[in-house]
Amino acid sequence: MVIDTHVHVFPDNIAKKAGAKLQAVAQIPCHTDLTEADTRIKLKEWGIDLGVVLPIATKPSQQRSINNWAKTVQHGGLISFGSIHPDAEDALSELDTIKEYGLYGVKLHPDYQCFFPDDEKYFPLYEKMAALGLPVAFHTGYDPVSPDVIYAPPERIRALARAIPALKVIGAHLGGHMQYDEVEKYIVGENIYIDISMAPLTCRQEQFERIIKNHGVDKVLFASDCPWTTPGMELQMLRKASLSPEETELILAGNAIKLLNYNV
Ligand SMILES: [Zn+2]
């Protein structure tokens, strides 16, 4: 089984506009049209059994509509996280809604939401996520949307994870997109899950292998950041790594099943 734990999909009515906007920022090819239908077809073609959608509330007012939509996505090869905007007045109570809806965790994108993840004012949110058993997935490291300020570098993610050890933290992009030396310094060995999305585009094979082995393969999640890479690229990178079949299986699905409490 292969689970892609980092997939972006948009509601049909905004997929086209969102795609054009994101592509202008990312400046790399987009491998789906960002709709649910196309993503389901492509994931299947790429050999992915389950995709985990990670939506992002870029404004406080979007939380509920995003979570209402995320709930409808969860069938036929897709499950979803919910999103809150950390500065929304009702962010705390929206976490109850995410739990009630049966969504699998919370996605936060500090560069789109303009907040520092280790800021203590957000700790009540994290404590509630931990209490509800909701993992939180962060974009980490560089993002072209905010080239001058990196809101979630490895050091801040570590500070947060150490402050709230009961929280299940997922650092996308190996825990620090394009900051892999800092990942080795601050993330490796910590109580943090890392996903391998985008690594084929920006990380050397040798450093990739060193990071996942030293960190512990039981805390590494297969992911692509679809549509910005195709999972085939991450699969190839993972299969090239000198890991046992059991270790590879953990990364491809076993760790995610356990972390997300997913009923296969
Ligand atoms: Zn992403």
Specify the pLDDT at position 19. 84
Q: Ligand 1: distance of its center to the CA of 110 in Å? A: 12
Q: Ligand 1: distance of its center to the CA of 27 in Å? A: 14
Two structure tokens written together for 141: 């490291």
Q: Ligand 1: distance of its center to the CA of 8 in Å? A: 6
β partners of residue 141: 177
d(CA 53, CA 38): 14
Closest CA to 106 of 198, 40, 248, 122: 122
The three-state (H, E, C) secondary structure of 85-152, written as one string: CCCCCCHHHHHHHHHHCCCCCEEECHHHHCCCCCCHHHHHHHHHHHHHCCCEEECCECCCCCCCCCCC
Two structure tokens written together for 160: 């947060």
Range of the domain at 49: 3-259
Q: Is the pLDDT score of 166 beyond 90?
A: yes
Q: Ligand 1: distance of its center to the CA of 142 in Å? A: 12
First-to-last CA distance in the chain? 10
Q: Ligand 1: distance of its center to the CA of 6 in Å? A: 6
Assess if residue 218 is contained within a domain. yes
Distances (CA, A) of 77 to 2, 7, 68, 80, 105: 11, 12, 18, 10, 17
Two structure tokens written together for 154: 């490895």
Q: Ligand 1: distance of its center to the CA of 108 in Å? A: 10
d(CA 36, CA 73): 8
* Tens-digit pLDDT profile for residues 34-76: 999 999 999 999 999 999 999 999 999 999 999 999 999 999 9
Q: What is the mean pLDDT of residues 198-216?
A: 97
Q: Ligand 1: distance of its center to the CA of 143 in Å? A: 10
β partners of residue 54: none
Give the domain CATH number at 140. Answer: 3.20.20.140
Q: Ligand 1: distance of its center to the CA of 173 in Å? A: 8
Q: Ligand 1: distance of its center to the CA of 253 in Å? A: 19
The whole-model pTM stands at: 0.96
Evaluate whether 176 touches 183 at the Cβ level (below 8 Å): yes
Assess if residue 264 is contained within a domain. no
Q: Ligand 1: distance of its center to the CA of 11 in Å? A: 16
Q: Ligand 1: distance of its center to the CA of 107 in Å? A: 9
Provide the pLDDT confidence category of residue 148 given band limits of 50, 70 and 90.
very high
Burial class of residue 159 in the structure, from the number of CB atoms within 10 Å of its CB (0-12 exposed, 13-18 middle, 19+ buried): middle
Two structure tokens written together for 135: 């993992």
Specify the pLDDT at position 79. 98
Q: Ligand 1: distance of its center to the CA of 226 in Å? A: 7
Assess if residue 192 is contained within a domain. yes
Q: Is the pLDDT score of 24 beyond 90?
A: no
Q: Ligand 1: distance of its center to the CA of 199 in Å? A: 12
d(CA 21, CA 79): 25
Q: Ligand 1: distance of its center to the CA of 259 in Å? A: 19
d(CA 28, CA 242): 29
Q: Ligand 1: distance of its center to the CA of 140 in Å? A: 10
Q: Is the pLDDT score of 18 beyond 90?
A: no
Q: Ligand 1: distance of its center to the CA of 137 in Å? A: 10
d(CA 248, CA 238): 7
Domain count, the chain: 1
